[in-house]
Structure 1
Amino acid sequence: MNDPSLYWLIGSTVLLLCLFFCAKKWAWARYALLIAFIAVTLLYLLWRSFFTLPTIGLVSLIFGILLLLAEWAGFLQSIVFTILSWRPFKRKAIPISVFDELPTVDVFIATYNEPEDLLKRTITASLQMRYPKEKLNVYVCDDGRRKSVQALVESIGNATYISRPTNEHQKAGNLNHALTLTSGEFIVTMDADMVPRASFLEQTLGHFIDPKVSFVQAPQVFYNADPFQYNLFFEDRITNEQDFFMRRLEEGKDRFNATMYVGSNALFRRTSLENIGGFATGVITEDMATGMLLQTNGQKSVFVNETLAVGLSPETYADLLKQRDRWCRGNIQVMRKWNPFTIKGLSFMQRLLYADGIHYWFFGMYKMIYLLAPILFLLFSIYSLQTDLSTLLLFWLPSFVASQLAFRIISGNKRSVLWSHVYEVALAPYMALSVLSEVFLKKEVRFNVTRKGVLQHKRHLLWLTSMPYLLLLGLSLTSIVLVGVHFLTPMTIFANSDMLYINLFWILYNLVALVMALLVSIERPRFRGAERFNVDINGMLTSDKREIECKIIDLSETGARLMVMNREDASWLSLDGEWTLSTNHLSQVPVTKEWINTKRTVAYVGISFDAISQHHYEALIAELFAHGKDIYSEREYNNASLLYAMLGFLKKTEQSPRQQERQSIRQAVSVPIMLQADDEIAATITDLSLSGCRVKMSDGNVPILPDQVIEIVGEDERIVSKKARVQWIQKRGRKLEAGLFFLPKQGG
C-alpha cells in the first residue's frame, strides 16, 4: 500500500472517530457522521460496481453480480434507516382531559388457543385501566369457542365473552365480527398475552382530539427473555431482539405518518375502521395492511413511545422462527394485494417506508449470499469479487468503520452492528426459504421444529432447526482446513494470495455468527410456570404473633422472594405458622414459606401464594403489571461482546439453573390419580413438590397438550382436586411422561 493510501486510511478513520465522539454532544457532528457514512459507502459501491466484478468465468461473474446487488440493496436500506434516524422525534403527550366528554372505549382481546391463566392476566389488567367504568367495555373474542374460556370470563366479571361459529380470515375476521356486535367510539386491540398498564388510555386516547387521527400505536414490550437472551444466558446484557424496531424505527416512522400497526397495543377510531371496511383480510399480516390503509387520504397515525403494555415474546427459538416466517410471508402478501407504490392516498415517504419494510424481509437471501461467497471461493475457486487487498482496504475500511460508528450513534445503544449480524445470520436460511416459497410457490413450507413446552426440563439441541448452521459451519471449517494446508504444507492450493486473505477474514467473520446461531438453537429449560419480575417493594409479613418488615426483591403471580434485614425477625420465620403478605396493593395475601436461608446479616425467604382469591389476584396483577414500574425502556446493550456471550454460555450451560434451585424440594412418590381433560386419563405421580409434579401414563397416545389446563383427582391429601398446567410432554417407549405446574386456587 503506497503512502497516499495509508494517509487516506488513517486520516478518514481519525476524522470518523472525532465525529463519533462529538456526535454524543452536538447535533452538527451527528449529521456530519451520517453524511460521511453515506458518502464513503457510496464511494465504495461505485468502485465495486466498476472495478471488482470477476472476469475469470461465467459462474464467478454471475455470483459477483448477485453479491453486488445484495450490497446495493443493503445500501438502499441504510439510506432509509438514516432518514428515519436523522432527527430524533417524540410526540408530545396529550391528556384525555382535552375531551369535554370522554368517549366510549371497547377493548378487544383476541384469542384462539392461548392458555387460560395467560388470558386471565390480560383480562384482569384491561379491567384495571383508569377510565370511567361505564364507558369502558372489555370483550374477549374467542375464536376457539372454548366453554372453559367463557366460564373464566364470567368468573372474572365485568367482561363480555364473544365467539363465532366459523374462523374465516382468522384474527382479522375475529376482530371484524366483534365490531358488528359492539358500539364503542374507539377500539383497543390487545393480544391475549399483552397486559396493559393502568395508564394505557390516559396516555393514548387524547391524541384522537385531532379528528384526522385514525389510530394510535404503542410499542410491544416483552417482559420475558427472548430466545437470544435466554438461551445465551444474556438477559441482562442485550435487549429483546424486537426492541430496536418497536422503539427506534417506529418512532422514526411516526415523523412521516407511517407508523406500522403491529397487531396489539393500539387504539382505533371506529368510524375510520368502518370507512376501510374493517380490519384488512386476505393476508397473514392483517395488522400491517390495516395500518397502511388507515393512513391514506390525509388520515393520521400516532406512535406513543412509552411502555403501556407488556407481553410474551416467543419462548423457544422454534417459535421465533415460525413467527418470523409468518411475518415475512405476510409482508410479501401485502405487497401483492396492496402495493404501496400504487395504492391511492399515500405520500411519497409513506410509500418509501412501507416498501422498505417489505424489502427488509429479503435480508435472508442477501445474507445467504454473504455467507456462501467466501465458502465458494475457498472450496471451489468461484470468485464473488476480484481485486487486491490494499485497494479493497482503501475503499472498504472507511465504509466499514463509518457504518459501525453511525449505527452506534443512531441506535441509542439498543443494538450493535455485530449483534445485528448475528440475528440476521441466525434467521437467514429460514427467511430466504420463506421468500422463495412465498414468491414462487405461494404456499406454506412447514419447518420441522420443536413445539413450545416440549422437553422444558433439560437442555436439548433443535437438530432439524440447526441443520443449516451445522452445514454452513462444516463447509466453513473445511475451508479453513484447506487454508491451513496451503500455509503449513508445500502444497499451493490458492494462487491469488490477496483474494485468499480477503476471503479468510470474511469466513472467520461469518463463522462467529454461525457459532452464535448454533448456540441459540440449544434450548435452555424453563422451569417456572410464571415469569418472575425483579422489583423493589416494601412489604409486611404478618402472623398471629409477629409483624416483620421485608423487601420483595422478585415477584410473580405464584410466589415471591423476600429479603429480611433483621436476623431476629428471620428466626421467627424459621418457625411453622400461618403468614400473610401486604404491600401498597396487596392486603394480607396468604402465603406459604417454601425455603429460608441467611447470608451474613440478611435472610432471604421464598414464599408461594396460597388460596388466591379473585381480589388478591387482581391486586397481584396491579402490583406486577397495571401499576408496576417501567423497567423496560432503559434496557441497553451493556458489556455485550460476542466473546463474552460465548464464554458465558460455556460456563453456565452445565450449571444447574437458578430456577431449578429455587423450586421446592421434590419427593419421589407413587400416587395413582386421574387426570380430567377432555377424557379421564389414568396416571401415576412419580415425583411431587408444592409447585408441581411429574406424572406417568401407560398410554402414550393420550390427548393432552403443552399449556393445557387439566384437573388432578386423587385421594392423597396433597393433590385433592388440584388444577395444573401441562409444562412439558415426553414419550418414553409406549409410555408418556408430563410435567405439571399447580395453578393457584381461586377463592371467593
Structure 2
Amino acid sequence: MENGLFEWLVLSSVGLLLFYLLSKKFHWSKQVLIILFLSINAIYLGWRAVYTLPTMNTISIIAGVLLLLTEVAGFLQSIVFSIISWRPFKRKHVPLSKLETLPTVDIFIATYNESEDLLKRTIAACTLIRYPKNLVTIYVCDDGRRSSVRELCEEFGISYIDRKDNSHAKAGNLNHALTKSSGEIVVTMDADMVPQANFLERTVGHFSDEEMVFVQAPQVFYNDDPFQYNLFFEDRITNEQDFFMRQLEQGKDRFNATMYVGSNALFRRTALDEVGGFATGVITEDMATGMLLQSDNRKSAFVNETLAVGLSPETYADLLKQRDRWCRGNIQVVRKWNPLKMKGLSFMQKLLYMDGIHYWFFGIYKMVFLLAPLLFLVFNIYSLDVAFDQLLWFWIPAFISSQLMFKAVADKKRTVMWSHVYEVAMAPYMAMSVLSEVFLKKKFKFNVTRKGVQNDRRRFLWVTSLPYLFLAGLTAFALVKVGLYYVYPERYNVNLDVLYINIFWVLYNAMAIILAVFLSFERPRHRNSERFSVDLQGVLNGPEASVSFEIVNISESGARIELDALTLQSYLSNETEFTVSFAGVKDLKVEKKWINQRDGKLQMGLTFTHPTQVQYAEIIRVLFSEPVNAGIEKYYEKAYLTTAMYRFLKRTKKADPTFNRQVIRENVTLSGQLHVDGQTVDATVLDYSEAGCSVRLNRTLRVDQIVKVTTDERELSERSAKICWVRRKGRSRVIGLKFVA
C-alpha cells in the first residue's frame, strides 16, 4: 500500500512539474495542468471525506465536518476560476471609425467629501481627453453641495450639479445627474480616478454594436496600497486589487459577465433608462447595475488597458472599511436581485455572479483554517484524524498542483502564498461582515473611502490589530504547549501523527499572521500627492544663472531634480526661488525645499508655487493624460514572505534628515568639542555648512538641547547650535545640529 502511495506521490509531482515547465511555452499544457489540478484535488477531497474525519467525540466530529466543508467550498471556487482561466480572452480594439457618427458623451464625476485637490486633478484630466469638444460635457455631481467646488467647476468651464438631499448615496447622485443631462453615452468617474487622454478613443468604438450597453476599463492604482506600503514591498508585489481588476474581469468578459466596478465605465443612456437608472437600495450599486444591464442578452465589454488611474485606500483601516462595504453590498444584492432567479442571464453569467458573491465568505473559511490547528494544539479538539505519512501522500500533490496551476495562469498578478496573506489579514473582519449582514441585517450607512490621507509619524493600529494579536498569542501558547508534549510525554495523551500535521499547519499560518501584525504599523505619508519616477529634462532659471537638470521624481505639487552643477552649489544654496521649464510646462515658479550633494551631483527638492491653470493642466498631462512613468504596471517578483518580513524589520526607521537641508554641507573629519550642561565632550565633526553640522560622539543627547561647538576650523571656532536629530551608529551617536544666533 505504502509503495503504491509513494509511486503516486512521485509520479504526480513529476508530471505536474513537467506540464508547468511546458506551460511557459504551450497553452495546451496550461489546460492539462488545470485538469490535473482539479483531478488531484477531487481525489484528495474524496479521500479526506472517507478516511480522515474524526469520530472520538461530538465536538471533534463537528470540527472535522466544518473543515471538510470549508475545503469543498474552496474547491468549488477553484472550479470557477479554472473555467475563467481555461482559454485566454482579450477583446479586440474597436476604433471610433466603426461608428457612423460619434455619440455625445456626458462624463459624471461623482463626489461627496473628497478633497478639492483630488477633484481638481480629475477635472483637469477630463478636459484633456481627446474627443470632439462639442460632443463632450463634463459634470461634477457634488453631493457635498460645496460652493468652493462650484467655483472650481467655473474655473475649468465645466458643469456643476448638486441636489437637495443625499438619498440613495452615490447611485442617487448619478440618477439625479441623468435627469440634468442628455448625452448618448454616460461615463462614470470617481473623484480620485484620473482618465488618460485616450480614454474615449479606446472605449467608445465598442458602441458601434447596437447591443452593447456598457464598457468597463479596469481601475488601476498609481499609489501603493497598505500591503505594498506598510510592508516596504512596493517593488515586489502588485496592488492587491490588480488580480481581480485585470485577470478575473478579463476572464469574465468571455462570458459577457464583466462586473461594473463603479468607475471608468461607459453606458448607453437608453439602456440605463430601460433598467430604471443606477440600482438603488444596496450599497454596491455598481455590481447590481451591471448585472441588470447584462440581462435580456444585452452586451458588455471589458477593455483591459490602463485608461485611468486612481488612489487605492491609503491606510489599512480604510482598506478594511472599504472591503466591509463591498462584502455587505454583495450580500444585499443577492437578497434583492438573486442572480439564480434573474431572467435574461445565461447559465455562466449566473454562475460567475454567484461565485463573486460566494467569494466574500472567504473570511469564514479562512478563520476555520486558522483555528483548526490551534483548537487541537491548545484544547485537543481534532478536526482530522489520520496518519501523518498518509496525509502527505494525498496532500502534497494537491498542494503542489494548486501552486503550479495558479502560477501558470496568474500571469505574475498573484501568488498562492500572497493570497493566503491577504485572506488571513482580512479574514476576522470579513467573517464578522458576513455574519452580521446575514443574521443581523443591520442597515449600513454608505461611507466614502478616504483618499489623500497624510500622517507625519509612524503609528500602530491597536484596535485593528487585536484579532491578529489574539491569533499570534494563541499560536505562541500552542507552540509552548507542543514543547511540553515533548518534555513531559507521559502527562499528555497525544496522537503524534496528528500532532506533526498541526505543528506544520500552525507554522504555515503563523507567517501570514506575523505579516498581518506588521501591516498594522502604519508608515507615515508626508506628501499630499504621489511621486512618480520619470526620465525628463528641464531648465532651472534663477536671477543670475540657468542650469539644465534631470527630474528624478515628480508629483503635481513638486519634484526632485538632479543637476550636474557643483560649481554653482554656493549660488543654489543661497537662492530659494526659481522658475523651471520641462516637457511643455513653461516658466513654472518653484521654491527650493532642500538641497544635497550625492555622487558628485546636486539634488534639489522643489515645490511648485501657484501654478496657473494652464501650467497645472500641463503638469497633469505629463503625469496622467500622457504618462511618462512606467511604474504603474507591477508584478510579483521574488515576493517571498520571509523577504517581506526581513525588509519590514530592516526598513522601519526614520526618514533621512539630510533631505531637509537648504544648503550644501561640506564633508570633513574635524576634531572638536561639544559644551553641554556645563560639561565638555569630545566629538568629531562629519560635515558642516553655514546653517549647521553633523557630529559623532560617545554620549547620548536629547533633541532640542542647546550646545556649543568648537573646533580649530575658523567657521566652527565657537558656534551655538540646537540638536535636531539623534541617530545611533554602532557604539557612537551621530547628531544633527542647526546653528542658532
Q: Quickly name the TM-score band, shorter chain normalised.
A: 0.7 to 0.9
Distance 1:212 1:472, change over 3 A: same
| Aligned twin of 1:26 | 26
Larger CA Rg, structure 1 vs 2: 2
The CA distance in 2 between the partners of 1:445 and 1:94, in whole Å, is 41
Distance 2:48 2:481 in 1: 27
> The residue matched to 1:540 in structure 2 has which SS?
strand
Quote how far apart the aligned CAs of 1:570 are. Answer: 5.7
More moved, 142-151 vs 204-213: 142-151
Q: Which secondary structure state, in structure 2, belongs to the residue aligned with residue 47 of structure 1? A: helix
Q: How does 1:585-600 map to 2 (within 5 A)?
A: 585-600=584-599
- Residues 452 and 549 of structure 1: CA distance in aligned 2, closer, same or farther (over 3 Å): closer
Contact 2:551 2:561 in 1 (8 A): yes
CA gap of 1:446–1:132, structure 2 versus 1, over 3 A, is closer
Structure-1 separation of matches of 2:343 and 2:583 = 53
1:39, distance to aligned residue in structure 2 (A): 0.5
The 5 A counterparts of 1:172-251 are 172-251=171-250
Aligned-residue offset at 1:568: 4.2
Q: Report if aligned partners of 2:454, 2:528 keep a CA contact under 8 Å in 1.
A: no
* Structure 2 CA distance for partners of 1:138 and 1:446, relative to 1, 3 Å: closer
- After superposition, residues 575-724 of structure 1 pair within 5 angstroms as 575-576=574-575, 578-629=577-628, 631=630, 634-653=633-652, 655-657=653-655, 662-663=659-660
User: What is the match of residue 99 of structure 2?
Assistant: 99
State the match for 1:292 in structure 2: 291
* Contact 1:485–1:491, Cα closer than 8 Å, also in 2: no
Conserved in 2, the CA contact under 8 Å of 1:585 and 1:622?
no
Q: Which amino acid aligns with 1:60?
A: S
Secondary structure in 2 matching 1:108: strand
CA distance in structure 2 between the partners assigned to 1:445 and 1:477 by the alignment: 37
Equivalent residues of 2:313, 2:450 under 8 A apart = no
In the alignment, is the contact (CA less than 8 A) between 1:143 and 1:167 conserved in 2? yes
SS of 1:612's partner is: coil
Q: Which residue of 2 aligns with 1:48?
A: 48
Once the two structures are TM-superposed, the CA of residue 603 in structure 1 deviates from its matched residue by: 2.3
Q: CA deviation at 1:567?
A: 3.9
| Contact map agreement 2:230 2:523 (CA 8 A) in 1 | yes
How far apart are the structure 2 equivalents of 1:274 and 1:411?
38
Q: Is the 8 A contact 1:187 1:268 kept in 2?
A: yes
**Structure-1 residue corresponding to 2:684:** none
Q: Secondary structure at the match of 2:341?
A: coil
Render the CA deviation track for 1:417-452: whole Å, top value 9, x for unaligned: 1110000000000000000000000015899xx988
> 1:307·1:632 contact (CA, 8 Å) conserved in 2?
no
Structure 1 match to 2:530: 531
Residue aligned with 2:49, SS:
helix
Task: Tell me the C-alpha RMSD between the 2 structures.
Answer: 2.1
How many Å separate the matches in 1 of 2:662 and 2:414? Answer: 40
Aligned length: 662
1:514 lines up with 2:513 in the alignment: yes
The answer to whether structure 1 residue 414 and structure 2 residue 413 are counterparts is: yes
CA distance in 2, matches of 1:627, 1:453: 22
Q: Is the 8 A contact 1:239 1:635 kept in 2?
A: yes
Partner of 2:731: none
Q: TM-score, normalised by structure 2?
A: 0.87
Give yes or no for the alignment of 1:259 onto 2:261.
no
Q: Do 2:197 and 2:626's aligned partners in 1 also have CA atoms closer than 8 Å?
A: yes
Deviation at 1:453, TM superposition (A): 8.2
Task: Name the residue aligned to 1:495.
Answer: 494
> Partners of 1:212 and 1:399 in 2: how far apart?
43
- How far the C-alpha of 1:662 sits from its partner, in A, is 3.8
CA distance in 1, matches of 2:258, 2:372: 36
Question: Does the 8 Å CA contact 2:623/2:629 hold for their aligned counterparts?
Answer: no
Q: d(CA) in 2 for partners of 1:601 and 1:96?
A: 51
Q: State whether structure 2 residue 321 is matched by structure 1 residue 322.
A: yes
Q: Is the contact between residue 127 and residue 158 of structure 1 (CA under 8 Å) also seen in structure 2?
A: no
**3-state SS of 1:117 partner:** helix
Q: 2:540 — aligned with what?
A: 541
SS in 1 for 2:53: coil
Residue in 2 that maps onto 1:729: none
- Taking the aligned partners of 2:475 and 2:600, their CA distance within structure 1 comes to 54
Letter in 1 for 2:227: F
* CA deviations over 1:136-159 (Å, ceiling 9, x no partner): 11100001111121122112x221
> Residue 738 of structure 2 corresponds to which residue in structure 1?
none
Partner of 1:363: 362
State the 1:665 CA deviation.
7.0
Distance 1:610 1:139, change over 3 A: same
Residues 349-374 of structure 1 show CA distances to partners (whole Å, capped at 9, x for unaligned) of 00000000000000000000001100
Give the equivalent residue in structure 2 for 1:129. 129
Residue 573 (1) aligns with residue 572 (2): yes
Aligned mates of 2:570, 2:97 — CA distance in 1: 52
Query: In 2, distance between residues paired with 1:493 and 1:152?
Result: 73
- 1:391-413 per-residue CA deviation (whole Å, 9 max, x = no partner) reads 11111110000000111111111
Aligned letter for 2:233? F
Q: Cα–Cα, structure 1 residues 129 and 446, in superposed 2: closer, same or farther, change >3 Å?
A: closer
Q: Tell me if the contact between 2:454 and 2:527 (Cα under 8 Å) persists in the aligned partners.
A: no
Instruction: Report deviation, 1:474.
Output: 1.1
In 1, the alpha carbon distance for the partners of 2:655 and 2:635 equals 24
Amino acid across the alignment from 1:207 = H
The separation in 2 between residues aligned to 1:226 and 1:114, in whole angstroms, is 18
Q: Retained in 1: the 8 A contact 2:573–2:662?
A: no
CA contact (8 A) 2:221 2:632 kept: no
Supply the distance in 2 between the matched residues of 1:600 and 1:522 (Cα, whole angstroms): 33
Instruction: Report the Cα distance in structure 2 between the residues aligned to 1:373 and 1:359, rounded to whole angstroms.
Output: 22
CA contact 1:550–1:563 (8 Å) conserved in 2: yes
Amino acid corresponding to residue 53 of structure 1 in structure 2:
L
CA distance in 2, matches of 1:203, 1:173: 28
Contact 1:194-1:264 within 8 A present in 2 as well: yes
Q: TM-score, normalised by structure 1?
A: 0.86
Distance 2:460 2:451 in 1: 14
For the residues of structure 1 that align with 2:39 and 2:444, how far apart are their CA atoms?
41
Give the 5 Å matches for 1:56-455.
56-155=56-155, 157-443=156-442
Gaps of 5+ in 1: 667-748
After superposition, what is the alpha-carbon deviation per residue over 1:716-740, rounded to whole angstroms, capped at 9, x for unaligned?
xxxxxxxxxxxxxxxxxxxxxxxxx
**Larger CA deviation: 583-592 vs 81-90:** 583-592
Report the alpha carbon displacement of residue 547 of structure 1 after superposing the two structures with TM.
3.4
Cα distance in 1 for partners of 2:542, 2:351 equals 64
Letter in 2 for 1:234: F
